[in-house]
Amino acid sequence: MSQTDVLIIGGGISGLSTAWWLAQQGIGVEVWEADERPGGKIRTSHEEGYVTERAAGLLVNFRPEIDSLIKESGLENSLRQRDDQLNRYIVHQGKLTQVPMLLPALLTSPLWSLPAKLRLIAEPFISRGTDESETVSEFVGRRLGQEVLDTAMDPFISGTLASDPDLAEAQSVLPRLTALENRYGSLTAGMLVNRVLKRRRANTADTFSFQGGMSELIDALARAPGVTIRCGACATSVINHGSQWQVEGVVNGTPNSIRVPQLVMSTPADVSGKLLNPIDSHLGELLCGIEYSPVAVLHMGLKSNTIKHPLDGTGFLVSKQNHLPVNGNLWMSSMFPERAPQGHTLLTSYLGGVHHPEQLHQSDEQLSSTVLDCLRPLLDIRGSAEYVRVERHHQGLPLYHGRYRARIKAIDEQLSCLSGLHLNANYIHGVSIRERIFQGQQVAQKITKALQGSVEESRESIPLATAR
């Protein structure tokens, strides 16, 4: 039976980030990953001159902790920043319409009617909400009005999170906005205060990828000294021995067992739930009750001269009111030109989600034909796709639906009775890569403190034993 300080089950971005932060403190970590390589859904492909991502294609950051990790892991020279001057679009009344990013432009935008603009101006005078479990639709409708919800927020929730604003809990998926209301009583007032106090990260974010794609981040995390990664390692049971956690499993076809004082589970909620059910059936039930949305990512390469739209932006999002078959489309080669061969364009569409779950059962040919038919009038495309790649995630993104914070609170309460056990995955505190890295640091800090406490406790007990 092998020994180490910490075992992490799951080698996706959550598990690897936790391991990396622990390694910075000199703590030995072993990571079990069932796949043949670490990274989970994050994987970059290089084919026919195109650079495509299996899932996340970029990182949006406003946290200094992520800046620190990028620097310390040696990734600074590989950063590829997105041009902040690129436009943002949504589909409005069947056409691409630019989304205003500044207040003066917002007030002259054709996106909203005069009553909707007056409603926006009145936002600072809207009273605080009292329902902590408000949905996104209820929160945004109350603070900004129905038109803003339908045209701006619905596309973000449906397209980016593959979720439903009528069901998603506002405090879970819009924590920055709900925090502004809680602290300042108004979104507008909160943003102005942060800007006056020069809290740069509170108002702006850097958006970037890496020269060779997002896999460079995974590779950098996996290289951290002190981190041992075992691929092809599947945990089959977890046993609690008081101050130790024993994990049984199969590593590359061979039965394996390990005991550790600290165990981190960075697997999907249902996987963790089934492993923990024999130890705590209520915790297992809470975890298995978390739902996921199916997501498909379709990459399409075309000759640039067959697209008449200037592609002068990051792409576009789609609200459910438009009844289109895509949730959003990113113009990857506009943001990062090296993503496509010279003279070609890479367009990445996001499908499925709560509105189109059946799409994941369609063939690549059906999906590519549907997407191209959708994009032709929006981007004035005159040609056909020369390259298509489809990635399917049947358990794509966790749905923060219902009283989600209450569920997470109940999970935390159960964990408090299980010393040395930690959960870190995208169903807790955000799905973005930024939040996964940040939560990895938070979990690593808790583990470091616990291990240091154990060492101090052992040192203090030595004189007493000697005295006897």
Q: What is the CATH number of the domain that holds 452?
A: 3.50.50.60
CB 6 within 8 A of CB 263: yes
Torsion of CA 165, 168, 171, 173, to 10 degrees: -80
Is residue 295 situated within a structural domain?
Answer: no
Q: Which of 141-155, 264-278, 331-345, 452-466 has the lowest mean pLDDT?
A: 452-466
pLDDT at 1 exceeding the cut of 60: no
- Is residue 464's pLDDT more than 60? no
pLDDT at residue 370 in the model: 97
CATH code for the domain of 197: 1.10.3110.10
- Assess contact for 56 and 214: CB atoms under 8 A: yes
**Pair 162, 117 in one domain:** yes
pLDDT tens profile 391-413: 999 999 999 999 999 999 999 99
> Does 197 lie in the same domain as 258?
no
How many CB atoms neighbour CB 412 within 10 A?
Answer: 11
Residue 33 in tokens? 């990953």
**Residue 199 and residue 106 share a domain:** yes
* Spatial separation of the C-alpha atoms in residues 142 and 127, rounded to whole Å: 9
Mode of pairing for the β-strands spanning 313-317 and 328-331? antiparallel
- In-domain check, residue 15: yes
- For 165-193, letters b (16+ CB in 10 Å) and e give bebbbbbbbbeebbebbeebebbbebbee
Reading the block at residue 148, the tokens are 């803003």
Strands across the sheet with 206-210, in order?
Answer: 59-61, 206-210, 79-81
Q: Could you tell me if 419 and 273 lie in one domain? A: yes
- How far apart, in whole angstroms, are the C-alpha atoms of residue 199 and residue 180? 13
Does the structure show a pLDDT above 80 at 373?
yes
Query: Sign (positive/negative) of CA torsion 256, 217, 49, 85?
Result: positive
Give the per-residue pLDDT at 171.
95
- Does 367 have pLDDT greater than 60? yes
CA dihedral 83, 85, 86, 87 (to 10 degrees): 160
Based on the domain organization, do 252 and 230 belong to the same domain? yes
pLDDT over threshold 60, residue 17? yes
Q: Are 272 and 265 in contact (CB under 8 A)?
A: yes
User: For residue 50, what pLDDT is reported?
Assistant: 98
407/437 same-domain check: yes
Is pLDDT at 95 greater than 80 in this prediction?
Answer: yes
Q: How confident is the model at residue 134 (pLDDT cuts 50, 70, 90)?
A: very high
Residue carrying structure tokens 């000759």? 303
Q: How far is the C-alpha of 256 from the C-alpha of 128, rounded, in Å?
A: 54
Question: Is residue 254 domain-shared with residue 276, that is, in the same domain?
Answer: yes
Please indicate, yes or no, if residue 63 is contained in any of the structural domains: no
Our CA angle for 105, 169, 101, nearest 5°, is 10
The residue with tokens 């938070």 is 442
Stretch 148-166: mean pLDDT = 92
Cα distances (angstroms) measured from residue 8 to each of 5, 143, 447: 10, 41, 12
pLDDT at position 108 is: 80
Give yes or no for a contact between 271 and 257, defined as CB atoms under 8 angstroms apart: no
Please tell me whether residue 158 adopts helix, strand or coil conformation: helix
Q: Is the pLDDT of residue 467 over 80?
A: no
User: How sure is the predictor about 453, in pLDDT bands with cuts at 50, 70 and 90?
Assistant: confident
Final residue before a domain boundary, out of 177, 203, 229: 203
List beta partners, residue 421. 263
Q: 199 and 107, same structural domain?
A: yes
Residue 18 counted as domain residue: yes
- Starting at the earlier edge strand, list the strands of the sheet with 328-331: 95-98, 87-92, 313-317, 328-331, 344-352, 292-303, 387-398
- Give the sign of the dihedral formed by CA 322, CA 328, CA 334, CA 339: negative
Residues 193 and 221 placed together within one structural domain of the fold: no
In a domain? residue 20: yes
| Entry pTM | 0.92
Question: Same structural domain for residues 191 and 246?
Answer: no
Q: What is the pLDDT of residue 455?
A: 59
Q: Quick one: pLDDT at residue 324? A: 95
Count of structural domains within the chain = 2
Query: Rounded to an integer, what distance in angstroms lies between the CA atom of residue 110 and that of residue 391?
Result: 36
Q: Which domain holds residue 177?
A: 102-203
Instruction: Report the SS3 class of residue 156.
Output: helix
Q: What is the mean pLDDT of residues 372-398?
A: 97
Q: How high is the pLDDT of residue 188? A: 83
Those residues whose C-beta lies under 8 Å from the C-beta of residue 430, and which sit 6 or more positions away, are 175, 436, 439
**185 and 274 fall within a common domain:** no
Average pLDDT of span 153-161: 91
Does the pLDDT value for residue 290 go beyond 90? yes
Q: What is the pLDDT of residues 405-434, one digit of tens each?
A: 999 999 999 999 999 999 999 999 999 999
Q: How far is residue 365's CA from residue 353's CA, in Å, rounded to a whole number?
A: 19
CB 54 within 8 A of CB 45: yes
State mean pLDDT over 360-389.
97
Distance (Å, rounded) from C-alpha 430 to C-alpha 126?
A: 27
Picking from 203, 224, 253, the residue at the C-terminal end of a domain is 203
Share of the chain above pLDDT 70, in %: 93
d(CA 464, CA 468): 6
**Residue 197 confidence (pLDDT):** 64
Confidence at residue 204, expressed as pLDDT on a 0 to 100 scale: 66
- Could you tell me which residues are beta bridge partners of residue 316? 89, 329
Ranges of H-type helices in 232-307: 269-276, 281-288
Are 262 and 198 members of one domain? no
- pLDDT confidence of residue 458: 52
- Of the candidates 262, 268, 217, the one whose C-alpha atom is nearest the C-alpha of residue 244 is 262
**Structural tokens at position 227:** 């981190």
User: Measuring CA to CA, which residue among 305, 318, 314 is closest to residue 355?
Assistant: 318
Q: Which of 203, 227, 256 is the last residue of a domain?
A: 203
pLDDT tens column, 179-226: 999 999 988 888 878 766 655 445 568 999 999 999 999 999 999 999
Taking all residues of the chain, what is their mean pLDDT, rounded to a whole number? 92
- Which candidate, 172, 112, 170, places its Cα nearest to that of 138? 170
Is residue 354 situated within a structural domain? no
For residues 136-146, average pLDDT: 95
Q: Which pLDDT score is estimated for 466?
A: 39
Domain presence at residue 91? no
Q: How confident is the model at residue 316 (pLDDT cuts 50, 70, 90)?
A: very high
Q: Which residue has the higher pLDDT, 255 or 99?
A: 255
Q: Does residue 315 lie in a domain region?
A: no
